[in-house]
A and B are shown apart, each in its own frame.
Chain A
């Protein structure tokens, strides 16, 4: 075991896989010689060569497309899209090609591409470096969508994604690359070494795709969340003194419905928390599913805390970011409902 932040854990996952499997390659902007703008691929080109850790032209559509072709020819590509905000030029290749290849060829062709991409705000990145577009991808049949909330999960999930024969979009909440974040930007930064999930094995291990994790057990309400908001939700429940069961979804698609439903049936109340915009966001799917499965167990309407339905603003970052205040207000609202 070692202490790792999320960047080191992701680097370790790719290191392990490059070492174990000759077919694993990495392609992306700045990932090679430089080691990535967030350092996630630091040292990997030096270790495995420039034919396996490949610097790419600035063309996200080309990166995804060539990764698809490599996957069809027996490689297991990891494509890095430098920011989730830049994934849109690759959208057609992801949606119409990567996600659909196995289906349209009746299983005769597929391409096991993992697309890694940093997402989310709280880093003063403005609207082109802060988006959370996961809901756009969970809507696409034929994709797996994953978002870890800590270093231990990040490594185990990324290895599972690389080993999976299904295409995956793997979102990395960049605000928590270096440490958990409870939503208060004025507090000093906390490193992952203070957190239990900062303990990461050096070698190979996996966390199964499609399974959520209960990160706090509780009895009064279920908070369904993922990514950075796991930590904000934990802090908010603690501050509010509410005995909340907090579930980290981790695998957004396919979704672990059973874990969510069992919890809400137990607590009878549900709050959904995500950073992405609210309208048609992933929380809408979660709310609909909980309503269908748990309606007769619900003591109060399902609540949602999400980013406002605006582009991600630069100057109003902390008014936009769904911090503890908003989570606490929603929790109180639901708890007070009779």
Chain B
């Protein structure tokens, strides 16, 4: 017995200079977990919040009841979207390093979450993403030029120069505006879903936050309201192990999986191998069907790893081992889907290389075109008047006055 209490400060298993250690990670064998009926009672499937739903085994086969049995053609499309996301990210990261955009955030290693989920949802379902879900834009087919122009804050910027790079939105594509304030979109998605239910529609909402953001009040608002009103929404926690420099233990991940917060308020929690494209797709399908049939919300924890830095302003070598990502036990989502496709005879190394080249060309061409609409350093630039629009629906008198004041200075 010790005397008195002692403050516990969580420590990640390995720091720079140490060997990566993922012994804390609880996994289940691929195919080992039963897929319950979509009408299952939350209390009867609480184990799904602590086990790990996996489909792809170590030999690259799809096994078990969660296999979504997608056509090889669909899997190839998924691979293409994931690769496009990765190549786009890498390119934009380089562009930021060249000083041509101010900021960027890559989703490297987490592409399966956005891409598989985007494909499992209907185009009419509303997405409330975080800043690391660019894969949704690839799935829903947004022109890359539009994304790049946003990052450039140029004359074709969808945000008219008002947002940091990657804070996209797409009303026609049903992807909500990204906020830099963490987690605010989570309960908003629940409200959107409540409205769908009030109107008697069968559209559902989906939202994404990281493991760190589960500590925000918004997470608790979201799961509580979703449970209370049985809102048709899929609430995703992308547990990529790191919230900038603090590991997931600082959000309470040491004690219980994040998925287990779901059953705590009466909604199912699914803990899924987030680097397993098929498992993510299957879990999303299950939750989407349940929501569409009036079964309400599901909380899905995607267990993955943030291979890249948090953002271009971050340096992970200062807080985690350099080779941490390579040692991650659940591998890489792109490699795993590629290996599976090769295993079933629907892909090859040559085709893979050719696809990478093709996509690099696509991204390069988009970048070239984007620059025509201006960069921060070279015009054409946005009209300064745009700064005053959209504060309210109509320009109020005081802003009209301020706009005139700025115009006078420019003359």
Residues of A within 8 A of B (CB): 25, 51-52, 54, 56-57, 59, 61-62, 65-75, 89, 92-93, 96-97, 100-110, 141-142, 144, 164-166, 210, 254-255, 257-258
Chain A residues whose CB sits within 8 angstroms of the CB of B396 once the complex forms? 210, 254
* B351 CB-CB contact with A under 8 Å: no
Q: How far is the CA of A67 from the CA of B398 in the complex (A)?
A: 28
- Give Cα A105–Cα B177 distance, bound, in whole angstroms: 6
> Given A62-B187, A72-B192, do A104 and B167 touch, yes or no (CB 8 Å)?
yes
Cross-chain contact B221 with A97 (CB below 8 angstroms): no
Q: Which residues of B contact A71 (CB under 8 A)?
A: 191
Q: Identify which of B126, B128, B179, B391 gathers the most chain A CB atoms within 10 Å of its CB.
A: B391
Tell whether, in the assembled complex, residue A62 and residue B221 are in contact, meaning their CB atoms are under 8 Å apart. yes
A105 and B189 form a contact (CB under 8 A)? no
Selected contact of B193 from candidates A68, A69, A89, A101, CB within 8 Å: A69
Could you say which of B126, B184, B390, B398 contacts A96, with CB atoms under 8 Å apart?
B184
Instruction: Assess whether B389 is in contact with A109, with CB atoms less than 8 Å apart.
Output: no
A-B pairs with lowest CB-CB distance, top 7: A69-B191, A62-B221, A66-B191, A65-B187, A73-B195, A254-B396, A69-B192
Q: Across the interface, which residues of A come within 8 angstroms of B184, CB to CB?
A: 65, 92-93, 96-97
Contact A257 B398 (CB under 8 A): yes
Residue from A62, A103, A210, A257 in contact with B162 in the complex, judged by beta carbons closer than 8 Å: A103
Q: Do residues B195 and A62 form an inter-chain contact, with CB atoms below 8 A?
A: no
A34 to B397, CA, bound (A): 41
B9 proximal to A (CB < 8 A): no
**Docked-complex contact B195 and A65, CB < 8 angstroms:** no
Contact of A75 among B171, B176, B188, B195 (CB under 8 A): B195
Closest Cβ of chain A to B406, distance in Å, is: 15
Q: Which residues of B contact A70 (CB under 8 A)?
A: 191-192, 194-195, 198
Given A166-B392, A254-B397, does the pair A66, B190 have CB atoms closer than 8 Å? yes
Given contacts A52-B198, A57-B225, A92-B184, contact A105 B192 (CB under 8 A): no
Interface residues of B (CB under 8 A from A): 126, 128, 158-160, 162-163, 167, 169-171, 176-177, 179, 181, 184, 186-196, 198-199, 205, 217-218, 220-222, 224-225, 228-229, 389-393, 396-398
| Residue numbers in B under 8 Å from A102 (CB-CB) | 390-393
Cβ–Cβ contact B392 & A142, under 8 A: yes
Inter-chain CA distance A164–B394, complex, in Å, is 11
Kindly list chain B residues whose C-beta atoms are within 8 Å of the C-beta of A97. Answer: 179, 181, 184, 188
Q: Which of B163, B181, B194, B398 contacts A69 (CB 8 A)?
A: B194
A92-B181, A254-B398 as given contacts; A66 in contact with B391, CB under 8 Å: no
Given contacts A61-B218, A70-B191, whether A255 and B393 have CB atoms under 8 Å apart is: no
How many whole Å from A105's CB to the nearest CB in chain B? 4
Contact B194 A66 (CB under 8 A): yes
CB pair A109–B224 under 8 Å, yes or no, is no
Nearest A residue (CB) for B188: A69
For residue A74, give the distance in angstroms from its CB to the closest CB of chain B: 7
12 additional contacts (CB under 8 A) given A70-B191, A106-B389, A142-B391? A65-B187, A65-B218, A66-B194, A69-B189, A72-B126, A72-B176, A72-B188, A103-B390, A104-B167, A105-B169, A108-B177, A166-B393
User: B390: which A residues are within 8 A, CB to CB?
Assistant: 102-103, 106-107
Contact at B190–A69, with CB atoms within 8 Å?
Answer: yes
| Known contacts A59-B221, A61-B218, A103-B390, A67 near B191 by CB under 8 Å | yes
With A61-B187, A65-B218 as given contacts, are A75 and B177 in contact (CB-CB < 8 Å)?
no
* Assembled-state Cα–Cα distance A65/B170 (Å): 20
Contact partner of B196 (CB less than 8 A), chosen from A59, A73, A108, A141, is A73
A-B contacts, 28 listed (Cβ < 8 Å):
A51-B198, A59-B225, A61-B187, A61-B218, A65-B184, A68-B191, A69-B187, A69-B190, A69-B194, A72-B176, A73-B126, A73-B191, A73-B196, A73-B199, A93-B188, A97-B179, A97-B181, A102-B390, A103-B162, A104-B162, A105-B158, A105-B169, A108-B170, A108-B177, A110-B393, A142-B391, A144-B392, A255-B398
Residue of B nearest to A166 (CB): B392
A residues less than 8 Å from B163 (CB atoms): 104
